[in-house]
Amino acid sequence: MSRLTVRKTYKLFIGGAFPRSESGRSYPVTSPKGDFLANASRASRKDARDAVSAARKAFPGWSGATAYNRGQILYRIAEMLEGRRAQFADELGGARKPALETVDAAVDRLVWYAGWSDKISSVHGTANPVAGPYFNLSSPEPTGVVAVVAPADPLLGLVSVVAPVIVTGNTCVVVASEPAPLPAITLAEVLATSDLPGGVVNILTGHQAELAPWLAAHMDVNGLDLTGVADPALALRCEEEAAANLKRVQRPVTADWRADPGLRRMTRFLETKTVWHPLGV
Amino acid sequence: MATPKQTVPERPVFDYAPAPESRDIVDLKSSYGLFIDGEFVDGSGPSFKTVNPATEEKLAEVATASADDVDRAVRAARKAFDGWSALPGSERAKYLFRIARIIQERARELAVLESLDNGKPIRESRDVDLPLVAAHFFYYAGWADKLGHAGFGADPRPLGVAGQVIPWNFPLLMLAWKIAPALACGNTVVLKPAETTPLTALLFAEICRQAELPPGVVNIVTGAGETGSAVVSHPDVAKVAFTGSTEVGRIIARSVAGTGKKLTLELGGKAANIVFEDAALDQAVEGVVNGIFFNQGHVCCAGSRLLVQESIQDELLTALKRRLGTLRLGDPLDKNTDIGAINSAEQLAKIRRLSDLGESEGAERWSPACELPAKGYWFPPTLFTGVAQSHRIAREEIFGPVLSVLTFRTPAEAVEKANNTPYGLSAGIWTEKGSRILWMADRLRAGVVWANTFNRFDPASPFGGYKESGYGREGGLLGLEAYLDV
């Protein structure tokens, strides 16, 4: 007799815990061929608000951690992901070899960003030679809570938008790929076992059009990454909503996730603080 | 340090003889047109008058640029863009150096005109605004041929036509902050000065002609909000830069949504100036005065909330009131004047309304004995004590010479109160303890932190806000980013 597999219940990831949607809703997720894979949670706007609260609560601790510590934790995420290489390749589906290459690229991307934690200030900060007897230094600081609408690419795309946001000290609420949300929730299991403090990354699954405008309008969200929004009307609405508290907005882009990412995804959600002090004896 | 007396003298100890700067150096025309494609042209909209806020006398009639005029200006800028952006950076640099030099040569004329049109003391326009304006052009001139070394790639490209809308508080300085980096990076510009302070921008247009800047590289369109809106919404504008109120900033952010235009905003503030009990008191008093009474408090980064440690509240307030009693309010062109005129009747009404609200909400109002001139727009230096965080004078930007005093006991409470605002432009810290300065600076959510100083500006130093004070930086290497396609 063949053994019946024990399936996983795919839930949300909020504040380091895995709750179901408070709405009690789910939606079926299928493979590209149309086979049923799972019922994913369909997050509500209340879930989105809870996720923002969790991200806000986590911000002082995460932004206040040393850059070295944040780098270590991102590297730890890479380690944990590497350890689940086969599982993610299974979940991505399709041909085995490209699936494994995608997981490898996601691991490598995390390692790349991990190293930036204690270097971005040196590259993006400046010592300013002002015309007077003053010490004057500009350094980057995280923007705060960033809402991220993740691209369709369910693992490499997701990692490529989340890592640059958190490595600098931001916390985030992520809306996972709507058609392929399962790797995001499995990634949450990786995050939950990587010493990443709860609330630094919160992951919602569900309908992008239902969640993104609420996050765009939320007054305690400081940044908005619309990379994964394919519908121009939805992107426009979100950017308009974001103006209410002048969120920093990354407009939708079609990205090649295998290309060198550059610094832009980090600098988009960085503020510059300039400190002056007189010289004297 | 002398023990502070508990009484406040009613009048300054010394009387000063009048020392007016001559206004003869300024050759005012009776009317001004727009500056488009290197020429002064008439505007199609109705002309408006710009007045001297210290006397309410009309200085000149100024043209309103209609949407069609703005379109002509943008087309001129677009046409000029190909040539300007293709120039070697070293050539663009030389134009900017020329402009910097002409500004220095004509500095007194510009300073007098600025004080006439804006109402700010000549001491400030002459010693702060104009030197910074020239320095800003000089600084960005030097970047024009070094952009490949700025960390934005080997050959970062300009964006195209920059549409720039600036406020009335530092008319020429804000023009410099906008135009110098835009041109250095290879963009061309259409700039709209504020409705109440257009004159120095129009004199700057003349300077562009003296510098033989190619036509269309700089275009100046005057008018009110509608003209600004036409600049911002023009489809051929690739970059929008705005300095002004958070309210208008929001409208602009909404209007550029979905367009692909790059946007930088430098908006309002409600900065905390935090004085600890171990601060050098006399220096702190000077810093607090400079923080809120510089430029009549028409400063987005003004230290409009004084957070004083409870243990020194009485001592500090006594010293502060004594110092306010020595401030000289009056003729902006008098070289002894500390506090000039409020820029407009509208702004004066706003300052009065919010100050009256401060009283009706229960804060205690104080001003030194201070005679206001009969004509013009004037408001005495004012401070409010007994202010709660919920009071509107502690939350809203007044943009006038009005200081709200709050207290705190611990550094953590100071941080909490300082950050308890949707704004995040600047903050001040006064303490003799170095580690506390850095601890505080780390936690204040503001783009500029002045420790044991306040309201310092320099072209090499990035300026700009967190949160609802806007985004993007002006000044320094980071100020290039706003004008490059990166």
pLDDT in tens, B247-306: 999 999 999 999 999 999 999 999 999 999 999 999 999 999 999 999 999 999 999 999
Flag residues of chain A having pLDDT under 70: none
Angle A262-A267-A271 from CA coordinates, rounded to 5°: 170
Strands A126-127 and A134-142: antiparallel
Per the domain annotation, does B369 fall within a domain?
Answer: yes
Q: Does the distance separating the beta carbons of B257 and A239 come in below 8 Å?
A: yes
Partner residue opposite B447 with nearest CB, options A144, A236, A274: A274
Mean pLDDT of chain A: 97
Per the domain annotation, does B12 fall within a domain?
Answer: no
What CATH number should be reported for the domain holding residue B387?
A: 3.40.309.10
Half-sphere exposure of A19 (CA within 13 A, CB side): 19
Q: How far apart are the first and last CA of chain B?
A: 53
String of b and e for A180-208 (b: at least 16 CB within 10 Å)?
Answer: bbbbbbbbbebbbebebebbbbbbbbbeb
Per the domain annotation, does B2 fall within a domain?
Answer: no
Answer whether A253 touches B (CB < 8 Å).
no
pLDDT of residue B410: 98
- From the CA of B105, how many Å to the nearest CA of chain A? 20
Residues B262 and B282 in one domain: no
pLDDT of residue B15: 78
Residue B208 φ then ψ, to 5°? -60, -40
Reported as a pLDDT band with limits 50, 70 and 90, residue B10 is low
Q: Which of A87, A242, A73, A243 is nearest to A155 (CA)?
A: A87
3-class DSSP state for residue A15? coil
What is the Cα–Cα distance from A232 to B366, expressed in whole angstroms?
A: 54
Residues B260 and B276 in one domain: no
Answer whether B466 touches A (CB < 8 Å).
yes
What is the Cα–Cα distance from A175 to A255, expressed in whole angstroms?
A: 17
Q: Does the distance separating the beta carbons of B467 and A246 come in below 8 Å?
A: yes
β-sheet bridge partners, residue B474: B463
Tens-place pLDDT, residues B352-407: 999 999 999 999 999 999 899 999 999 999 999 999 999 999 999 999 999 999 99
Per the domain annotation, does B24 fall within a domain?
Answer: no
Residues in B closer than 8 angstroms to A124, CB to CB, are 151, 478
pLDDT of residue A37: 96
Locate the domains of chain A by residue range: 42-278
Residues B134 and B150 in one domain: yes
B2 burial (CB, 10 Å; 0-12 / 13-18 / 19+) is: exposed
Per the domain annotation, does B7 fall within a domain?
Answer: no
Contacts of B110 (CB under 8 A, 6+ apart): B103, B125, B130, B133, B172, B200, B203
Q: Does the distance separating the beta carbons of A136 and B458 come in below 8 Å?
A: yes
Which tokens sit at A238?
A: 């979100």
Residues in B closer than 8 angstroms to A243, CB to CB, are 250-251, 253-254, 257
pLDDT of residue B12: 55
Residue with tokens 């000149």: B60
Strands B305-309 and B402-408: parallel
Q: Does the distance separating the beta carbons of A131 and B478 come in below 8 Å?
A: no
Residues B187 and B80 in one domain: yes
Tens-place pLDDT, residues B456-479: 999 999 999 999 999 999 999 999
The pLDDT > 90 percentage for chain A reads: 98
Q: Which helix (H) or strand (E) holds B237?
A: strand B237-243
Tens-place pLDDT, residues B44-76: 999 999 999 999 999 999 999 999 999 999 999
**Chains A & B: contacts with CB separation below 8 Å:** 104
- For the segment B131-141, the average pLDDT, to the nearest whole number, is 98
3-class DSSP state for residue B275? strand
What CATH number should be reported for the domain holding residue B221?
A: 3.40.605.10
> Which of B420, B437, B478 best probes binding to A when mutated, by most A CB atoms within 10 angstroms?
B478
Counting the structural domains of chain B, the total is: 2
Residues B259 and B369 in one domain: no
Residues B195 and B153 in one domain: yes
Query: Is a pLDDT exceeding 60 seen at residue B1?
Result: no
- CB distance B335 to B122 below 8 Å: yes
- CB distance B78 to B127 below 8 Å: no
pLDDT of residue B16: 86
- Catalytic residue ranges of B: 266, 300
Query: Is a pLDDT exceeding 60 seen at residue B6?
Result: no
Q: Does the distance separating the beta carbons of B456 and A276 come in below 8 Å?
A: yes
What is the Cα–Cα distance from B220 to B39, expressed in whole angstroms?
A: 10
Mean pLDDT of chain B: 96
What is the Cα–Cα distance from B256 to B235, expressed in whole angstroms?
A: 10
Q: Does the distance separating the beta carbons of A128 and B462 come in below 8 Å?
A: yes
| DSSP single-letter state for residue B74 | H
pLDDT of residue B408: 98
Tens-place pLDDT, residues A64-123: 999 999 999 999 999 999 999 999 999 999 999 999 999 999 999 999 999 999 999 999
Give the per-residue SS3 of B371-429.
CCCCCCCCCCCEEEECCCCCCHHHHCCCCCCEEEEEEECCHHHHHHHHHCCCCCCEEEE
| DSSP single-letter state for residue B129 | I
Backbone dihedral region for residue B475 (phi beyond 0: left; psi -120 to 50: alpha; all else: beta): left
Which tokens sit at B37?
A: 């494609």
Displacement of CA B391 from its chain's centroid (Å): 25
Q: Does the distance separating the beta carbons of A131 and B448 come in below 8 Å?
A: no
Residues in B closer than 8 angstroms to A276, CB to CB, are 448-451, 453, 456, 461
Q: How far is CA B27 from CA A178, B30, B199, B310, B452, in A?
A: 66, 10, 11, 53, 41
Domain span at residue B314? 272-451
Fold category of A42-278 in CATH: Aldehyde Dehydrogenase; Chain A, domain 1 (3.40.605)
pLDDT of residue B13: 60
Query: Is a pLDDT exceeding 70 seen at residue B9?
Result: no
Q: Which of B416, B390, B391, B400 is nearest to B272 (CA)?
A: B416
Which tokens sit at A252?
A: 């939708």
The pLDDT > 90 percentage for chain B reads: 97
Nearest CA in chain B to A253: B260
Which tokens sit at B463?
A: 């300026």
